[in-house]
A and B are shown apart, each in its own frame.
Chain A
Amino acid sequence: MSKIIASAAIRGAHKIVDNAESKWKQAMDKWGANEPVGFPNTAYYLPIIYGILGTKVEKLGDMEKVLKKSRAILPPLVKETHHLPYLAPALDAGMVTMFAEELIEAVRYLESPNFYTKTEDIKPDNIWLGAADDIILRKRGIEFVDGTAPGFAAILGAAPTKEIAARIAQELQQKNLYVFMCAEYNGKRFSEQLLEAGVQIGWPTRLVSFGPDVSAAVFAMGFATRAAMSFGGIEAGDFRKILIYNKDRVFAFALPMGYVTDEWYANAAGAINWGFPVIADTPIPEVLPTGICTYEHVVSNIPHEKLVAKAVEVRGLKVTVSEVPIPVAFGAAFEGERVRGEDIYLECGGGRTQMVEWVTSKPMNEVEDGKIEVIGPEVTDIKAGSRLPMAITVEVAGREMQEDYEPILERQIHHLINYAQGSMHIGQRDIAWIRINKQAVEKGFRLHHIGTILHAKLHHDFGRIFDKLQVKIYTDKDKVAQLVEQARAVYNKRDMRIEGMTDESVETYYSCTLCQSFAPSHVCVISPERTGLCGSYNWMDCKASFEINPTGPNQPVVKGQPIDAKLGQWKGVNDFVTRTSRGKIDHYNFYSLVNDPMTTCGCCEAIAAVLPLCNGVMTVNREYTGETPCGMKFTTLAGTIGGGLSTPGFVGHGKYNTTQRKFLAGDGGLLRMVWMPKMLKEELADKLKARAIELGVPDLLDKIADETIGVTEEAILPFLTEKGHPALTMDPILG
């Protein structure tokens, strides 16, 4: 910390704490101590205060304790000559700043409930999204965990021009980073500049307009703090672990753009506690010695064209950007970008025309690697706003290629096309739907570039399982119709095969330790009938992933001697888990939530819990924010059992797993299911019905209660009794 920075940070912290105190006092006068306060839909209260101090701020009155603590920590200003050491006081001041700003923002939620949109997307009349709720945290969290998003850039202020803003944002997006924006400089804000430049902002494009003021920086820090608690399984109040977790695992940094005020310095000092360095575009003093952050703490006066590269280097982040030779930007951050009505140049599929995507193996001599053909009209042959049918066929050949890998490669098409700026892709197989916008076409994007993308990326990511790949893109109506039929026959064959796969039919399961970057003791073992709890990986995916990367996070696990066939426990699996959980977990059961269930990281799609009174289980999906009969919302449940713990009575699982035959088989299976959110029932309806028929209770779905029946066990029990739910007559679920 240079003296100038430390002095300014401490001054800034004093101002911010004063401000928080006066805002709190005003609110107290108006609302009283018992008024509930908090950020929307989160189990982590005011997350920084909760994570660092372990204090739950639930009511206005609870803030007093935090303010007192802040006052006690707030260091005196730095003397001009013969000053006392200032690094530690400045870091403390920075932390206090975070507490105070959380209070300020919480009071704002109380005073102006509609100040923030509380959504993932901006609204026409409001671009400020406010704190990420727990749904966003978990949904986006998986990207942090699996590396699709290695970290985030917190941008304060504004760039000199909107063009520079757009360029920096795009550069960050191309490095897959999230961009969290707040504060104003020279009457401008980075978020506003992006909008002016025509850039789509919001969570889907990773350009997150948190808020207009510097205090919105706490939404970024709160996100990081919650990541440590929810994915790292660190207890609230264990501040040291939370901060070091972030230093080691969350690759974030701050980019103050424009004049650095005392308040900005205070926020920067706060961020350094998390190990997030500061890279400034102005000539502020530098702090180069290392220690709190992995490398430098403050680096300054960086030209805008070098800002992102410098930031990534200072943070110690290795970003592998695969260069795809197409005329638009390409990266995971563009996946969520939308193409709307008047922007559409070309639209295919989506019920308007026929569209199909199909990956198929061919003999080596029939595939010419890198060959891309467009059969039918190109975008240059049509007018803006046109529709065309489309069939994308990807033909691969190679010694390692297996038929089983075809669907895996095929599933990549969705996000790979989405990664291209200006194109939007929805669905898969014969329900695929693509839109390409005018700007992309203007920049020179053509249909054959879809082939370029697929060739480059599939080679890059899956090169080990095939040698050659060619792409044919058909826009000819008859040819497309013919291919749809051909592909459908293949899809049917594939589905039958997958259907037939059972846990008993294989000797080898696959591990998934992808999440260990965030949940160090968590290890999933995936069997054919128990897909990953994040919903992203099934047995076949893991198998392919292992073929592709033999030392990667998916390793074969020979299941070995069964220890308990009913609950799903094998010696080989236990040994593997003991080793890879670094000794934290020595056994678990695949098919039970009552007895030592599988561990859960923070990113499960759904969580099942025992309902003892109903002699059954419930499950709740991440998107459902309401109360549930087990007494906890999804987010509280995830906070309680996440982080690599095995918690009897609860288990995280993928949504699809609910419909698999081994789902909780050790506890009685799907027939135990007494409550699900309505939205989940609807989402899984077809598959659930099919499974219910198999189980001999065809109307099971109608017997399962949802929130319209009740959100307590007492409230749903009469319904279950009336409907004659099978769980009520099963053996007692608890011993």
Chain B
Amino acid sequence: MAEEKKLSIDPATLEMIEKANSEGVSTAFARAEVMRPCPIGAEGSCCSNCAMGPCRVPLPRGRTETPEEKKKRRGVCGATVETIAARNFVRKIAAGTASHGDHGREVAKVFLEMARGEAPGFEIKDEQKLLQLALELGVNIGNRSNKEIAIDVGKILEADFSRQEGELVFLKRAPIKRQEIWKKLGVLPRGIDREVSEALHRTHMGCDQDYKDLLLHGAKTALADGWGGSMIATELQDIMFGTPAPVASQINLGVLKIDEVNIIVHGHEPYLAETLAVVAQMPEMIEYAKSNGAKGINLAGMCCTANEILMRHGVPIAGNFLQQELAVVTGAVEAMVVDVQCIMQGLVEAASCFHTKIITTDRRAKIEGATHMEFDEHHAVESAKAVIKAAIDNFPNRRQNVRIPDYKTDIIAGFSHETINYLLGGLFRASYRPLNDNIINGRIRGVAGVVGCNNARVTHDDVHVTLVKELIKNDVLVLETGCAAMACGKAGLLVPEAAALAGPGLRSVCEAVGIPPVLHLGACIDNSRILIAATAMVKDGGLGDDISDLPAAGVAPEWMSEKAVAIGQYFVSSGVYTIFGASWPTEGSKEVTDFLFKEMENLYGGMWGFETDPLKIAKMVIDHIDKKRKALGIDKARERVLYDMAMRRELEAV
């Protein structure tokens, strides 16, 4: 038998897996051992789109298939393996886009209710951003109140979900050259829902059966996520909850407190968590906790909800995706409050072994056996109070088997596009110039977005951390979101002192700006911030005229969700080389895979890649960055230009 796979590199996780095992609590780690992935589904060779199947058309193992074998790899309807693989791939994109879209739609709804005064717990926190957005969208500002302006802004963006013709408003933010590419390929998304809906239609039995055409629509659908649903969510959340700015906090299960009421907010949408963060501070709540024998209320986050309230309130993070059940296993969590996406149903069973209450709060995501306390944005504070009260009431029910791992790490988070712009030059000289300048002069070799999930099929956090360490060692600045950021946070890479692990060039820039070499940009929905940052880099000049010219790449090394596929595809469609780890969902078809890995580069300037070994991924990223540097002509040291008066006269006016 092969050497047993290490489950995690995180000691807190390992400690809790052991506790769970010894106490007979089922976790994803244990279930992954028993439940092996279906080899046919994993490579995208299973079609269950009609009742004549499911049809399995797997690639022969361990040898090259003969042309005859290839011919036979068809479903009952005759669908080729290419069609099947592409359809499965596009359906993942559609599901991911729908998830981010639905998140965005909900934000837009609450935003409009807030603007109309129907959601009392919420307000406009970032007036500047609202006005800027209004300006961008052509909303009249004049002497109108912020709320009036917000209504117009909200309506315009909300309309993007159901738009039937035309194109999404934020596509205009992309570099001109990128927009032209999209236009030429016909992938400018019309409406978010329309593209998702069409994706499902096209992939229905007996519909679109040309894999290239299917993947073209996949690209279009994904763009409706990155430049649509996700971007709308991020922008409106920033206005409503504040644009993140750098903040210090801590991460890992050690942030749970033995003598306080521990409430974990888990999921993706921030409004409940935002309200909880405020309500948990209220003296009446703290008093109530004390009257129940606790010293206070300790709010901690998990998954992307955690990222949202970390970025805006400094609320500590208990852990990333694969640690959700382990938080329950500590026995110290009074309530785990969840909304949508990435909530393992296993939580309920784990919770049954402890006093922990799993509280679902979203009408769209209920779990059998959990307590449902639906969040009502019209009465946000009341909803939050009820949840916190329920958690406090549960404090006396703690059992004997409480053990909080003594691991927590300091982190600095909160790097939005706006704050990066500020941080690089201050209030008076804010710009991306220092970033571009130092990329051009080679101190920073390039930029990598390392994002995505945890996946129980790979050693938890290991791929993220090994990859990121290798990248920064090679002077690649890393931007992170989601569970990837948390993995690096736990490994101590999100503090400025981590610059010591970076190459000399990147280190000097980090020390000049005072930033960590790995920047936490938020939740997975905030990957749109990376698009904006990349566009800002293009617009600042000197690094080409399109995102695809940048010495940059994206990686999701421990991906697992359909959202990750949507994100990956919108990065590829935006011109970014994007590498996935863990497994590759179209491996069953060489043609589809080749198309995604090679042909897409000719179409979009960006393409997919796949590799499981973190050091090899790092090499792929660095090679790509070097290729782009060479194309830009910045692979060689430049002569220092000294200016005389004649050269100054040639300068354009600022």
Residues of A participating in the B interface, judged by any CB pair closer than 8 Å: 1-3, 6, 52, 73, 78-79, 81-92, 95, 146-147, 150, 232, 239-241, 243-245, 248-249, 251, 273, 287-292, 295, 297, 313, 316-320, 513-514, 516-517, 520-521, 552-553, 582
Contacts and interface: CB of A to CB of B under 8 A. Distances in A.
Contacts of B426: 87-92, 95, 273
B422 interface: yes
Given A2-B511, A245-B654, A291-B435, A318 B649 contact: no
Contact of B642 (A2, A287, A316): A316
Given A241-B654, A248-B654, A147 B514 contact: no
Interface in B412-444: 412, 422-430, 433-435, 437-438, 441, 443
A289 B443 CA distance: 7
Contacts of A521: 653
A79 B495 CA distance: 12
Contacts of A316: 640-643
Contact of B651 (A150, A248, A290): A248
B649 A553 contact: yes
B3 interface: no
Contacts of A92: 426-428
Contacts of A232: 653
A292 B514 contact: no
Interface of B: 246-248, 410, 412, 422-430, 433-435, 437-438, 441, 443, 495-497, 508-509, 511-515, 640-649, 651-654
Given A88-B425, A95-B426, 13 more contacts: A6-B514, A73-B427, A85-B423, A87-B423, A91-B425, A240-B654, A248-B651, A273-B429, A289-B443, A290-B437, A291-B435, A297-B512, A316-B640
Nearest to A78: B514
Contacts of A514: 649
Contacts of B644: 147, 150, 318-320
Chain B CB within 10 Å, residue with most, of A83, A244, A289? A289
A92 B653 CA distance: 25
29 contacts: A82-B412, A84-B247, A84-B412, A85-B423, A85-B514, A87-B424, A89-B426, A91-B425, A91-B427, A92-B426, A92-B427, A95-B427, A239-B428, A243-B429, A248-B651, A251-B643, A289-B434, A289-B508, A289-B513, A291-B424, A291-B433, A291-B435, A317-B642, A318-B643, A320-B644, A513-B649, A517-B649, A520-B652, A520-B653
Contacts of B412: 82, 84-85
Contacts of B410: 81-82
A288 B508 contact: yes
B429 A240 contact: yes
A95 B430 CA distance: 13
Contact of A291 (B437, B495, B646, B652): B437
A84 B246 contact: yes
A289 B512 contact: yes
A2 B508 CA distance: 9
Contacts of A291: 424-425, 433-435, 437-438
Contacts of A1: 512-514
Contact of B423 (A88, A297, A317, A513): A88
Contacts of A84: 246-248, 412, 514
Nearest to A519: B653
A562 B269 CA distance: 70
B648 A248 contact: yes
A292 B508 CA distance: 15
Given A313-B640, A517-B645, A582 B653 contact: yes
Contact of A3 (B435, B514, B642, B643): B514
A320 B642 CA distance: 11
Contact of A520 (B422, B443, B651): B651
A87 B513 contact: yes
B643 A317 contact: yes
A292 B654 contact: no
A146 B645 CA distance: 8
A461 to B, nearest CB: 14
A569 B497 CA distance: 66
B507 to A, nearest CB: 10
B640 A290 contact: no
B15 to A, nearest CB: 24
B642 A318 contact: yes
B428 A95 contact: yes
A422 B653 CA distance: 40
Contacts of B428: 52, 91-92, 95, 239-240, 243, 273
B475 to A, nearest CB: 12
Contacts of A295: 640
B537 to A, nearest CB: 13
A88 B654 contact: no
Given A291-B435, A521-B653, A88 B427 contact: yes
Contacts of B645: 146-147, 150, 517
A181 to B, nearest CB: 25
Nearest to B245: A84
B146 to A, nearest CB: 20
Top 5 nearest A-B pairs (CB, nearest first) are A291-B434, A91-B426, A147-B645, A86-B514, A520-B653
A585 B653 CA distance: 14
A6 B497 CA distance: 16
A85 B246 contact: yes
A517 B648 CA distance: 5
B425 A82 contact: no
Contacts of B641: 316
B438 A290 contact: yes
Nearest to A238: B654
Given A82-B495, A84-B514, A292 B434 contact: yes
B43 to A, nearest CB: 44
Contacts of A91: 425-429
A582 B653 CA distance: 9
A292 B513 CA distance: 11
A91 B648 CA distance: 25
A241 B431 CA distance: 13
Nearest to A551: B646
Nearest to B433: A291
Contacts of B435: 291
A89 to B, nearest CB: 7
B8 to A, nearest CB: 24
Contacts of B429: 91, 240, 243-244, 273, 292
Given A88-B426, A517-B648, A3 B511 contact: yes
Contacts of B643: 251, 316-318
Nearest to B645: A147
Contacts of A52: 428
A320 B646 CA distance: 12
A147 B422 CA distance: 34
Contacts of A553: 646, 649
Contacts of A552: 646
Contacts of B652: 520, 582
Nearest to B495: A82
Given A87-B514, A316-B641, A289 B509 contact: yes
B651 A249 contact: yes
A85 B514 CA distance: 4
A584 to B, nearest CB: 8
A244 B424 contact: no
Nearest to B509: A289
Contacts of B437: 289-291
A317 B310 CA distance: 46
Nearest to B506: A289
Nearest to B426: A91
B631 to A, nearest CB: 22
A724 to B, nearest CB: 48
B202 to A, nearest CB: 46
Nearest to A643: B653
A666 to B, nearest CB: 29
A83 B513 contact: no
